[in-house]
Amino acid sequence: MGYQGQQPVIPPQSDLDDKELISEHKHKGKTCRQAAAVFNVVNSIIGSGIIDFSLVLLIKGGALSGTDTYQSLVNKTFGFPGYLLLSLLQFLYPFIAMISYNIITGDTLSKIFQRIPGVDPENLLVGRHFIIVFSTVVFTLPLSLYRDIARLGKISLISTVLTTLILGIVTARVISLGPYIPKSEDAWVFAKPSAIQALGVMSFAFICHHNCFLVYGSLEEATVAKWSRIIHLSTLVSVFICILFATCGYLTFTGFTQGDLFENYCRSDDLVTFGRFCYGATVVLTYPIECFVTREVVANVFFGGNLSPVFHIIVTVVIITTATLVSLLIDCLGIVLELNGVLCAAPLIFIIPSACYLKLSEEPRTHSDKIMSCVMLPIGAVVMVVGFVMAVTNPQDCTHGQEMFYCFPDNFSLTNISVSHGQLTTQLSIVNTSLF
């Protein structure tokens, strides 16, 4: 199971931080423009990466060890036991992400089809279970059967554009809907104990370490400097989008905010229905990237890194079928995000890249990369342990499939909310705030 690799060629009179390190490993048939790589990383970070420093650190570790995959880096650094542990985490994270994407797809698209005039909301053909199976067979499975991740560049671009549209809708609803939603108790009290759980979800939302070598390998003349530029740009865009989503969502619903933000909006809201369509499409387009990673892990562990065309299809179908069956049994997104964040994402983001770099690097202890690694490693351990305990003992509330209390006109006075750009008017109910 060992990996053989040569030390990377370092241009004369240069160091790791200031000059480009050109990998000797050639990735034939895996070249794409830097723009496509940016969209692949942004898509991965949003859908389903948190620290650009950690991502750069990972590639630097690969350069120092002469390796070009996350697994081979850990194998070179910590041997076969470390390789197996990393492989397990690297498989579980995207696999659980696939489950969460199925849950989102079922929850989101079912509400869209139930809005079609004359359609019975109880019809099985518009239920979440049928939609999960249908979207898997028609969309996610065919896209996941690609062998080259570079072919997903344009698909990821579409996903990024749709995300921008969703952001615009969520932002518009802060203004038109937010004032009519009662604020929860202690809505603006920060640093609550559940902040650790939030870190777990954030780790889930920002990780792309599990597929960064795939994207890195898709670049022409891949270098650490070029990768660093792509990661800084991708992370900056993704963090900006995530902050806007989080801020707009919480300003609108405060403590009533669900793990899936679109669960908060009323089904009668036509603008949000369009947003749900964009959201569902984005998730469906993000799904194949996660499948690429799970398949690569299986290929590396059991098939020596190469899958024949037949086994490529078999492994892909088995992985997707298993994820689909599990997602049909789970209907609460929040706990899935929390557990995946603290058990898989935290080690992949904080602990493993830092540990590898600390062992491989010969830089002095006062070097900035080593200082940051020494800070990140214990933070990851705390988030992992404490986050798991809190996720199990204090699980997030889930109102899967239920309308929120402010959506029922029988209980509240009706108020017209106009949306100038969408030219629509939605009837929303307003709760008697004295109840809170």
pLDDT in tens, 364-397: 888 888 888 898 899 889 888 888 888 888 776 6
* pLDDT value at residue 37: 58
Compute the distance between CA of residue 264 and CA of residue 111 in angstroms, rounded to an integer. 12
pLDDT in tens, 247-294: 999 999 988 888 778 888 988 899 999 999 999 999 998 899 889 989
Choose the weakest-confidence range: 314-323, 333-342, 400-409. Answer: 400-409
Q: Which residue has the tokens 């929860």?
A: 184
Q: With respect to residue 395, please indicate whether it lies within any of the assigned structural domains.
A: yes
Three-class DSSP category at 415 = strand
Q: With respect to residue 16, please indicate whether it lies within any of the assigned structural domains.
A: no
210: nearest Cα among 50, 369, 103, 358:
50
Compute the distance between CA of residue 243 and CA of residue 105 in angstroms, rounded to an integer. 22
Alpha carbon separation from 256 to 140, 184, 204, 265, 407 (Å, rounded): 32, 7, 21, 11, 13
Residue 213 sits in a domain whose CATH number is: 1.20.1740.10
pLDDT in tens, 143-192: 999 987 777 777 778 887 888 899 899 999 999 998 888 888 888 877 66
Do residues 359 and 332 lie in contact, with contact meaning Cβ atoms separated by under 8 Å? no
* pLDDT value at residue 382: 86
- Residue, of 345 and 98, whose pLDDT is higher: 98
Average pLDDT over residues 107-131: 86
pTM listed for this prediction: 0.71
Q: With respect to residue 4, please indicate whether it lies within any of the assigned structural domains.
A: no
Compute the distance between CA of residue 129 and CA of residue 125 in angstroms, rounded to an integer. 9
Q: With respect to residue 14, please indicate whether it lies within any of the assigned structural domains.
A: no
> Which residues are bridge partners to 425 per DSSP?
418
* pLDDT value at residue 360: 93
Average pLDDT over residues 309-328: 95
Domain range for 380 is 34-403
What mean pLDDT is reported for the chain?
A: 77
Q: Is the pLDDT of residue 429 over 70?
A: no
Count of structural domains, the chain? 1
Q: With respect to residue 151, please indicate whether it lies within any of the assigned structural domains.
A: yes
Compute the distance between CA of residue 408 and CA of residue 428 in angstroms, rounded to an integer. 8
Q: With respect to residue 398, please indicate whether it lies within any of the assigned structural domains.
A: yes
Compute the distance between CA of residue 404 and CA of residue 345 in angstroms, rounded to an integer. 31
pLDDT in tens, 231-245: 878 877 777 877 888
* pLDDT value at residue 38: 59
* pLDDT value at residue 40: 55
CA end-to-end distance (rounded Å), the chain:
61
Compute the distance between CA of residue 111 and CA of residue 265 in angstroms, rounded to an integer. 11
H helices then E strands: how many in the chain?
15, 2
Q: What are phi and psi of 279, to 5 degrees?
A: -65, -45
Q: With respect to residue 22, please indicate whether it lies within any of the assigned structural domains.
A: no
Gyration radius (Cα) of the chain, Å: 23
Q: With respect to residue 430, please indicate whether it lies within any of the assigned structural domains.
A: no
